[in-house]
Amino acid sequence: MINWKKYPFVKLLCPFVLGIMFSFEDCYYSIITIIAALVALIIISKTKKNVKNNFLFGIVLSMTLFTGGSLLSQMSLHDYTKLKDADFYQCAIVEPVKEKKNSFQLTLLINAKSIDSAWSLLKGKALIYMEKDSLSSNLKFGDRLLIKGNLNFLESPKNPQEFDYKKYLENRSIYQQGYLASDDWRLLDSKSKGLDVFANDARQFLLSSLKSNGIEGDQYAIASALILGSKDELDFEVKQAYATAGAMHVLAVSGLHVGIIFLILNTLLSILDTSKKGRTVKAIILLIALWSYALITGLSPSVLRAATMFSFVIIGTVLNRKSSIYNTLAASAFFLLIINPNLLFEVGFQLSYIAVLGIVYLQPLIYKRIYTRWWLLDKIWAITAVSIAAQIATLPLTLYYFNQFPVYFMLSNLLVIPSAIVILSLGILLFITSPIPAVSESVGWVLNKFIEGLNFGIKEIELLPNSLIEGLSISVLECVALYIIILLFIHGLKVRKLKIVNYAFLLALIFIINDLMEDVALANSKSMIVYHINKKQAIDFIDGTSNVLLANSSLIKDKQKQNFHIKSNWSYLDLQNVQHIPTEATKLDETLLDSSLQLVDTYSKFHTVKMVRIDKKFALQPLGKKIDVDYVLMSGNAKTKLKDLYKMFNFKSVIVDGSNSKWNRNRVEAEAENLHIPIYNTEKGAFYLKL
């Protein structure tokens, strides 16, 4: 039987989290419910002596916390305005400026707007892409700007199973985005000061210190990400290598990094443990150091969790109060969610807490299964046990969010966890010794070589056969079911009750049968998808577990864009054999998918569906007999008129994809409406035809 008195914050956290998850649309309802619950709590406390053990008190308290979580969630949404049309906005840059290929990306906090020269205060966030020039290249965190009101609301995903970037930004209270040309803005003030500006300046200074001490290229990208949380320099190939090896977590400053900082400082300051006053001074230094590091590295959810948790531990040590790690975790989560309820929906927050819970609960159970007297083997097994525990705990979430599983995660973690300790320690040493170039340059040389060795090891693991299993798509319900199976299995083994283990196996069997039924259904499915990708053409012909992607060669080469727009759908449909055909081929003449797909020039026949693709290269030719097709796909800003196409084809419907400009899509739509031709614009969402 669980003694809940040891875990008071766990009891408080559960209804609070449920309230955030199922927040009410009407804030007034939440306020009335909280007031009623508080009145009930006061009445109960006046009429009962043993209030804490009163069942009714617990019910009313849970109801209060549930509605409180709901209310806070709604209030956090209303803290930031969904910005409407205005002539001008006054704003400040609140995140480091990110350089993209053709623009600069800025996150702006808008504090005032002007309509017809009348200014009014407001609070809103927007994501802005700014034209590159000599002025925009000098913008930095904290600068205040005056911008034109060229903002648009975020759009929902256009393609099936595509990453919901709109939801991701809304969880950060960003509802608008826009593009600013050079004459759409001007700098108001570059002297803005604040704790966040100071932290960003400190980070930039430390990043420049890495460069000045010989850390360059991929080594600089890894050092800046691992030590300071700056991931702007990481290219797609490096991130892919670490993700495939199961070591991506080391590149995001997290609890591991905060823990290393804590251990280093705690060891160095252990001389202060001899007196109460010394312990207090030590606690203050540790708290300042941990939160300074958290602030400099960007206050990511995992860093916030770790810094908050260690803060509770430090304060508890000073007060001579020992608390359960589960209660400390729950207290830190409760504290962070009160400040920002939207953290609950961030992947980093979820994975961070689940991973720590898994390590705390499972690592001792796994570790004690194997005993060795050899010190080195014992340490290797301890790290392996941590890796296995974290992987088991996060497996369902990893499958749900990323649809993949790194096979050699244990091997990579044996490499990256000790390496992270060494790299972070060398980084701190480099910063401390930077006033003495002769010393810091030597440390920089060692750090550079060490990271070079780490990168080599990670890439070798990536090249191992079957290093990454992809296409493992599961639903929310399947994710929950997996957690239930894992918990039942582990608990059954721990208490040594075969009955509970059998329940786990029974649920696992049901899960597998359901998955097999889904696989059978997908294996017999046939569909054609015309994706909506800006300035790109992409058509998927799907037959069972195989498919052909007919797309621009630039898109075929751009794996990052494929991952964003298309690959999640491939995982969802359990596609195993993907063929890429470039649309630019001078002479297309292919028979694919066991003869169910025929591609001849701009014509395609998939089972019984016939389509012709019209782009700028398409030439109208007089034919003796018109060709029957089901669909005409207008792409690549083709200027061909539909009435002229009627001279060559008999077609039932027109599709306009994302490779067209908005102007051209509107032109084709207007012409189709005049001719009374059915038309589908993929701007509304990908064209999805099930056969």
- Whether residue 644 contacts residue 618, with contact meaning beta carbons closer than 8 Å, is answered with no
pLDDT at 538: 94
Distance of CA 94 to CAs 121, 125, 153, 341, Å? 18, 9, 20, 20
Question: Burial level of 267, CB count in 10 A (0-12/13-18/19+)?
Answer: exposed
What does the radius of gyration of the chain's CA atoms come to, in whole angstroms? 29
And the tokens for 589? 């003449």
Question: Could you please report the per-residue DSSP string of 602-621?
Answer: TEEEETTEEEEEE-TT----
Specify the pairing of strand 631-634 against strand 609-614. Answer: parallel
- 560 CB-near residues (< 8 Å, 6+ apart): 236
Look up residue 191 and give its two tokens.
């002297």
Dist. CA 635–CA 338, nearest whole Å: 49
Contacts of 622 (CB under 8 A, 6+ apart): 647, 648
Name, in order, each residue with C-beta under 8 angstroms of 345's C-beta and a sequence gap of 6 or more: 167, 171
SS3 of 230, please?
coil
Locate the domains of the chain by residue range: 4-78, 88-192, 351-406, 476-517, 526-690
What whole-number distance in Å separates Cα of residue 474 and Cα of residue 398?
Answer: 10
What is the pLDDT at residue 548?
92
Q: Cα(10)–Cα(598) distance, rounded to whole angstroms?
A: 60
The owner of tokens 């390590």 is: 359
Q: Which of 606, 601, 664 is nearest to 634 (CA)?
A: 664
Among the listed residues 363, 364, 353, the one whose alpha carbon sits nearest the alpha carbon of residue 388: 363
Q: What is the pLDDT of residues 100-143, one digit of tens each?
A: 888 899 999 888 888 888 888 888 888 999 998 888 888 888 88
Cα separations in angstroms, 640 against 184, 611, 616, 617: 35, 16, 8, 10
Q: Which CATH superfamily is domain 526-690 in?
A: Ribonuclease Z/Hydroxyacylglutathione hydrolase-like (3.60.15.10)
Q: How far apart are the first and last CA of the chain?
A: 55
Single-letter code of the amino acid located at 417: I
Beta strands in 294-438 (DSSP E): 404-406
CA-wise closest residue to 642 among 679, 682, 596, 590:
679
Check residue 364 and give its pLDDT.
Answer: 87
Residue ranges of the chain whose pLDDT lies below 50: 52
Each residue's pLDDT tens digit, 322-359: 667 888 888 888 988 988 888 888 888 888 888 888 88
Q: E strands of 156-286, at which residues?
A: 174-180, 185-189
pLDDT for res 685: 92
Per the DSSP assignment, residues forming a β-bridge with 654 are: 632, 679
pLDDT score at 29? 53
Q: How far apart are CA 247 and CA 255, in angstroms?
A: 14
599 strand-pairing partners? 590, 604
137 to 96, 104, 552: CA distances (angstroms)? 12, 8, 32
What pLDDT is stored for residue 78 in this prediction? 63
Residues in the chain: 691
Structural domain 88-192, CATH architecture? Beta Barrel (2.40)
pLDDT for 623 equals: 66
- Please give the backbone phi and psi of residue 178, each rounded to the nearest 5 degrees, phi first: -170, 175
